[in-house]
Structure 1
Amino acid sequence: MQDVAQLRIEAAHKKVAEVFSKDYSFTIPAYQRPYAWETTQVEELLTDLSDAMGPESRSDGFYFLGSIVLVKTHGSPDSRVVDGQQRLTTLTILFSLIRDLTEDPVKQASRETYIKQVANEDEGIPEALRLQLRQKDQAFFEKHIQTRGATESLPSTDGQSGAKARIIENATTIRAKLVEMGEDKRSELLRFLLQSCYLVVVEVPTQTAARRIFTVLNARGMDLSATDILKADLLERAGELKEQHLSQRWEDIEVALERGKFGDLFTHIRMIFERDKPRSALENGFPEQVPIFRRDPVGFVDKVLEPYADAFTLSQNDAELRKRFGPKTADLVRSLDRLDNKDWLPPLLLCLRQSNEGKRDDVPDIVFQLERLAYYLFMVRADVNARMSRYADVLDALEPLSEPKPRVSVRDRSTGFTLTQAEAFAMFNALDGNVYLATRVVKPILLRLEQASTDGSAIYDYPTISVEHVCPQTLPNNSQWAEWFSEPEVHSYLLHTLGNLVLLNFRKNAAARNFEFDVKKNQYFAPGNSSAFTLTNEVRAYSTWMPSDIGGRREILLRRLAKDWRLDDTFERWWVAQ
């Protein structure tokens, strides 16, 4: 018979130092989804920790990291993670990077204890990693993250996907931030994380019990989302007489947009009203930042929800955008949609709403400026705070608030839509560099170049679009490639630049990558004797593909983008300065 004490459910808030200790040995069950946090979420975590540490923080000296649900028997460290994998994995990456950036060997060994349990024969404690991912991902995670010194030379994400790509991308992002901090600031961050950051740890004895607790914590029994909570709040404020009518209008919009985009819409509306980085959950912050939601439920649906839902629907309707604003504007909206964030959507929605109401007749010009700004922020890899601050200024330019409110974060105002010379130079520098290894950058920027290379009539909607190097990454011995690129440093410098990259409308053939240039351009780049992409067809016009050819094409493509973004004069100044 099982001891009743072993069946008890425990829940407590614990310091991170207590969680990453001998009391817990975490494993991720095979049925769990893989590690999936994006760099945006990691950036937000680091920013929030930095803000909470600050002297003017409102955190009262501590920071809540959320909850984790474990299947764990009382008294045993073995802990199967039902909920909390993303946080535990990201914290392990953070600890590993801080350890590897620590120069003092004594401190480094001490900091490794948050990643690996040190064996202690006297206490019967074996050496073990604090966290074991799914079996499919653990060997990679241990080799490149958990092993001491591994993060000093992180591998490329080229060829990686899923959890492995996320692990390397996030580790690269965190490492850059930590290096920028310096040793003293990193130590301060580690102390704050261990001593002043808390997790609510829910420990249950069985998998079934764990799932039930997880359901309660997330309101999964009713499938509640932030918008469900907001809907209930709105209807309660409206009263019984208006409840049915408002409920039907709300649900009509939700069905039309689909649940995921409906939730996104509320996030974008909040930004339009708040014009700063959100500091609280959507269900808590929305009523505070959108006052009409609280004081006038019917007015909110009439004047906010339905107009912005119409604008959102229009932003997704390519045919209607072409009809109303022309093909160029529709193409630019499609170009925006290729970016790895949607922070540009609130300004677009405000602009489209104003147009729908007859208050704006310059939508093509606004969309042009917005797309150019978004690509600048995208190319220089501006973090979420920089993006949101800039778009807040753009919103102010589109429609100043009737009652301006102070920003939560004190900062200098930007130039809004307008790119300064320094910003344009920074974008050209990014475009002129190694764009291929920045996996989220290369395809959108090549498609943007393709767009600038046509009259806008072509639409590329292939199930597969891949990026190919013209000059291969590996130069076969005794080949023409080896003769043309006899200097390794020249090959290395030009290999991943825009001038050497083209688009294909089929999956890359590994066996074809090292073809000689004539074979490659006439066979591999021309299936069916034609290529779908202008960029690729242009390469077929070259008789050689030597360093000088790539260098010349580099200038052509950069000038093409500069012209399309109306930055010709600025580009000339940048080009002369190179």
Structure 2
Amino acid sequence: MKRGSELAFDAIQRTIGEIILIGEHVIPRYQRPYAWDEENVFDLWNDLKDNPEGHFLGNMVVHPSGSDSWDLVDGQQRLTTVLIAIRAIKDAYEKIGEKGRAQGLFNYLQRVDLSGDPTFRLKYRTESGFLHLSLFSEPESKIRQTNPKSNADKAQYSAYKIFARNIEAEVDKSRGPDVETIDAIRDRFIRSTVVYVRVDDRQDAFRIFETLNDRGKSLNQVDLVKNQVISSIPVTAAQEEERLWVKSVSQIESISWSKVKVEDFLGYLWNSTSHQQDDEIVAVNRIRRSVDAYMRSKANAEQGARDFIRLFSETAEIFKEFDECLASPNGKHWADLVPAERWRPDRYASVDHSLYGCLVPGSNLPLNLLFSLLRNYIHGTRRTLSNARLVDFLRAIENLQFRWSISQRPSTSTIRRAYRRAAYSVDSASTANDIVKALQQFKRDANSLMPTDAQFKDGLKKLTYFTQRPQDVHRVRHTLERIEEFWGSSRLSRNQVVTLEHIEPQGAKSINSNQNFWVGKLGNLMLLPMEVNSALPSAFSGKAPKLAQWANSKDLILQKQIEVGAWGNAVANRRMEELLDAAISVWPKVMTI
């Protein structure tokens, strides 16, 4: 046992076999689910095969959580994988009738505790899942009949199958007795070594983990921050916070609108707050230190930790709703998230209508400002942000981001700085007037960043929509919807289900032919109710009377061609210019402050 700076720990290199037999290891609630992919599993197999005398697996950090029980702070993925391999080796012994050896390995999966009850060597503090109910319990035949549901369960089952196939292949290739080959595989796993670090309590275990893993890389920031905040809450009182953390991470990873990694989300989250001394952007690899400074600034570090986890949870829930907004921007999906005293369907319908325009570009750049605005509006205690002001802010964000993304401008420090400054101001606002000032400053920053009209038009000309190539569908639809609003007198209602109609039909035209590409451009597209679109004839002359019922009166070129019953590439190009002229008014280069 070593002591220094009030930190007591024991670190010794041990075989994984010795460690498993110590007692039971417990995976806490806050740990991420099992996530090793096939490449990780193959790498472990090959590393052990190349080093049969004892491959070094790295560090494991634990702290006591009961009699013969140890909580895993670091090493759960590796230990889980080794135990899955041991199960596959046990099954290989049973296939050749070596029941004694199989029973010997079963002792590495389960044991009898001091009360005489069977228990697992590796346990989750949450409910048992596929690992326990199948891999560590069922006969091999039943394991292979199961249908894992979660990603973690599927990854565990995949690891099991990889080990089973590799063991079988190695046995088939071996010229010696099968039992000796399997013995060698078994020994490679149980003789692999780790530096096993045992610490007296959870907080010290987190400190050791941080020392071992903090190299200033963003990859580790989420785990480091998680350990930092969880360790500030007494172990007996942290169950709700641990549950919230796991739920939030799962929500973030399930978002389909934008594949934001949890580490990136943490960056956008922290840069959506005013918990720092100034509004400078906090780099991801410095967030842990910034969070630590924030918690130490509180009179009670435990309360600071709880506040951070609540912030993390509230923001993850907001982020989750972005998928729903893109799918159906009617505001209804916010009902379960918004406190009952703040819920009004009409207000959130207007929020969704404006938020949709911010999400359509598919850019992560505005995330910190969107998080700050929506958190303030939904959960803010000062009530500084009205519905009308929120919608104004969202429209300003859309104006900048839609122009920026359509013009295919890259992320720059200047635009990131504009979003960060606005997010900081919104989060720190104490009055409604502070919000007004934040919006005015954001518009000034945005106006200085706006791409030119020519750049914006060039970007719009590149948008296409084909059934076989739908990636621009949201941008195209939104462009036409906003132009409809700008023109006024639209015959389409906001709540109507509309689809994109190719005025000149796609038909059997190849989208890979340059001469057909105009068919997918804006000039050849219009919005129609779904039931109308599905019943239209193909030829323009045949469908013109029906189009006349829905075409906007300001859509002058289309209106004229409907009258004459003729349509073609040249006309579609002229209509394109008409739409582009409207677009630069919808998304002006200079916003009124």
For Structure 1 versus Structure 2, the TM-score category normalised by the shorter chain is 0.3 to 0.5
TM-score by length of 2: 0.43
Q: TM-score, normalization: structure 1?
A: 0.44
Please tell me whether Structure 1 or Structure 2 has the larger radius of gyration of its CA atoms. 2
